[in-house]
Structures are given as structure tokens and as C-alpha cells.
């Protein structure tokens, strides 16, 4: 089994059609407040998304910046096949390839900007740094990176219930087991170690209450539910019934509910 095979199989959410729809919903949910907020791309910018998944973020960027030249890679062939159709339906042009983030199939200085969103959290620390070194290699001098990552321990939800109190620490433990639960906090150091400069860690606190919290809670529940088969393989976690109780409580968020988290939208210069 190659390292690429291992990386594909370690993606905790899988690659089923439900996951592809979740990625589309995710991009829509975060479009204005995270993806496009603070993002400026000049016409003609050569942009590569590493870990483009279903193509949803590329579609968002392509619609917002129609004169940008888009490319995307993902390690999973099924995701690239889906993304080609999804982008074609939305009349967004992009060159898509199956590729490992640690060995990108491009010459040096091929791009002006690289976008990575919730990709490094699914890698070991060594692989995350290897991917960032590759990103720096394919960026032209003066090119930039945007990398968006979460620190899962900062996700706080309420009011407290037995189900939620079991679910949230289990989520952190699962992300630690299958990748990097604190990738957002680690981003600044990783970018520094791999040769980037003028690093803006982009730490942002998101806080939602009542009707604003409900869609975020449902999104979180969908993300966790897709990973439950992998989570169930961990030793010493709460039973599945308890975890599903927590998922049900997330989906039932009401007027007195709240959700907070810290996300890093880091930018740096190659």
C-alpha cells in the first residue's frame, strides 16, 4: 500500500455522495463569513486549491472572482470526478487533477495563490509540513497562501447536556487520532517552519446563538455523523447511543442554544 493509499483511507469523513453534499453545504454555510470575507484576488491570478474535494470552494471563488484562473487537486479520484461535473454545471472553469498534496504535479512557481481549507487537519504533522513545503515550491516568488483550519478544542456548545458533554470531547479525541485536532493553533508554526514569511495567523472567534446557532449545529452534527464509523473504532469512547443522543441534541438547537469556535484563516507570503 502506498502513502497515497494510506492518506485516502485515513480521511475520517469518507467519500460517499453524502459527504460530497456535505462539502457543498459547508461551502455555502461559510461562504460570506469565512471564505470570501477578507479575500481579494486580482484578475489573472493563478489559484490552486489543494484538497479541493467536491469543488464547492472553487465554485465559490470562481463565482466571486470570475477572472481568476482556477486549478484544484485532491487525492481521491471520486472527488475529482464529482468536482468536474459540479463545476461544469455551474459554468466555472478549472483544471482538476488527482494528486497527493505532498507531491504536487506542477513545476516550480506555477501559481500565484494556493488555497487550503480544512486539509492539514487530516494529516500527520510531518505530512502537513511536507504539503506546505510543496505549496511553497509551486508558488511564484511573492505568491501567497490562504490556509483555513480549526482548533476543535475551542468548539463550545450549550446548554450542557449529557449527550453533548460526551460528544464534544470525543470529537476532539477522534480528530487527534486521525489527524490534527489543533491544526488551527499549529498553523503559524508550520508556516514559519516551512519557509513562509509575513504570516498572519488570522485567528477568528465565531459565536452563534439561537436561530444563528441552529444551522451551525446541524452542520457540526452532519460532520460528526459521517465520521462515526471511524470514531467507533477508538477504544474507551462513549457508546454509540450516547453519541447519537448528542447529535440529536445538536440538530434540535433552539432559541436558548449557542455555539462558539476559533477558526484560523491564515495568510502568508512564499
Position 16 scores a pLDDT of 63
The range of the structural domain enclosing residue 10 comes to 3-151+179-207+262-269
Mean pLDDT value across residues 236-254: 94
What CA–CA distance (Å, rounded) separates 83 from 266? 25
Helices (H), the chain: 3-9, 17-30, 56-64, 77-89, 125-138, 162-178, 183-193, 213-231, 240-251
Hunting for cell 477568528 — which residue is that? 204
Q: In this predicted model, what pLDDT tens digit does every residue of 145-171 receive, in sequence order?
A: 999 999 999 999 999 999 999 999 999
Strands 258-269 and 197-200: antiparallel
The answer to whether the beta carbons of residues 111 and 140 sit under 8 Å apart is yes
Whole-number pLDDT of residue 242: 93
Nearest C-alpha neighbor of 110 from the set 64, 47, 52, 170: 47
Res 3 pLDDT > 50? no
All cell numbers assigned to 61: 471563488
Helices of type H across 50-179: 56-64, 77-89, 125-138, 162-178
Let me know if residue 235 belongs to a domain.
no
User: 117 lies in a domain?
Assistant: yes
Average pLDDT over residues 24-32: 93
Classify residue 234: in a domain, yes or no: no
Asked if residue 169 has a cis previous peptide bond (ω within 30° of 0), the answer is no
User: Is the model's pLDDT at 14 over the cut of 90?
Assistant: no
C-alpha cell of residue 241: 447511543
Q: How many domains does the chain have?
A: 1
Q: Look at residue 64 and tell me if it is in a domain.
A: yes
Domain contains 158: no
160-189 mean pLDDT: 95
> What pLDDT was estimated at residue 23?
86
Tens digit of each residue's pLDDT (9 = 90 or more) over 219-237: 999 989 888 888 988 999 9
Given a cut of 60, whether residue 2 has pLDDT beyond it is no
In a domain, 71, yes or no: yes
Examine the pLDDT at 9 and tell me if it is beyond 70.
Answer: no
Find out whether 179 and 240 touch, Cβ atoms under 8 Å: no
Question: Looking at residue 212, what is its pLDDT?
Answer: 94
On whether residue 26 sits in a domain, the answer given is: yes
Residue 222 lies in a domain: no
For CA atoms 251, 254, 256, 258, give the dihedral sign.
Answer: positive
Here the CATH number for the domain that contains residue 14 is: 3.40.50.150
Helices (H), 68-139: 77-89, 125-138
* 10 CB neighbour count, 10 Å cutoff: 14
Q: Which residues are paired to 69 by β-bridges? A: 46
Amino acid at each position: 500500500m502506498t502513502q497515497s493509499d494510506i492518506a485516502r483511507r485515513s480521511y475520517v469523513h469518507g467519500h460517499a455522495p453524502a459527504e460530497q453534499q456535505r462539502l457543498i453545504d459547508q461551502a455555502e454555510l461559510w461562504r460570506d463569513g469565512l471564505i470570501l470575507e477578507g479575500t481579494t484576488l486580482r484578475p489573472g491570478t493563478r489559484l490552486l486549491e489543494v484538497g479541493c474535494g467536491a469543488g464547492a470552494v472553487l465554485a465559490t471563488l470562481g463565482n466571486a472572482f470570475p477572472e481568476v484562473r482556477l486549478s484544484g487537486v485532491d487525492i481521491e479520484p471520486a472527488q475529482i470526478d464529482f468536482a468536474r461535473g459540479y463545476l461544469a454545471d455551474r459554468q466555472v472553469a478549472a483544471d482538476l487533477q488527482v494528486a497527493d498534496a505532498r507531491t504536487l504535479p506542477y513545476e516550480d512557481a506555477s501559481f500565484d495563490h494556493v488555497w487550503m481549507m480544512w486539509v492539514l487537519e487530516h494529516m500527520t504533522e510531518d505530512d502537513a509540513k511536507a504539503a506546505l513545503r510543496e505549496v511553497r515550491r509551486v508558488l511564484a516568488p511573492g505568491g501567497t497562501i490562504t490556509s483555513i483550519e480549526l482548533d476543535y478544542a475551542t468548539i463550545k456548545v450549550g446548554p450542557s447536556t449529557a449527550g453533548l458533554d460526551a460528544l464534544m470531547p470525543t470529537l476532539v479525541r477522534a480528530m487527534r487520532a486521525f489527524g490534527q485536532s489543533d491544526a488551527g493553533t499549529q498553523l503559524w508554526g508550520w508556516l514559519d517552519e516551512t519557509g513562509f514569511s509575513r504570516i498572519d495567523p488570522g485567528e477568528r472567534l465565531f459565536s452563534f446563538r439561537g436561530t444563528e446557532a441552529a444551522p451551525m449545529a446541524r452542520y457540526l452534527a452532519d460532520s460528526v455523523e459521517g465520521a462515526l464509523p471511524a470514531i467507533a473504532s477508538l477504544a474507551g469512547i462513549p457508546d454509540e447511543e450516547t453519541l447519537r443522543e448528542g447529535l440529536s441534541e445538536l440538530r434540535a438547537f433552539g432559541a436558548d442554544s449557542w455555539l462558539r469556535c476559533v477558526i484560523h484563516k491564515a495568510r502568508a507570503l512564499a
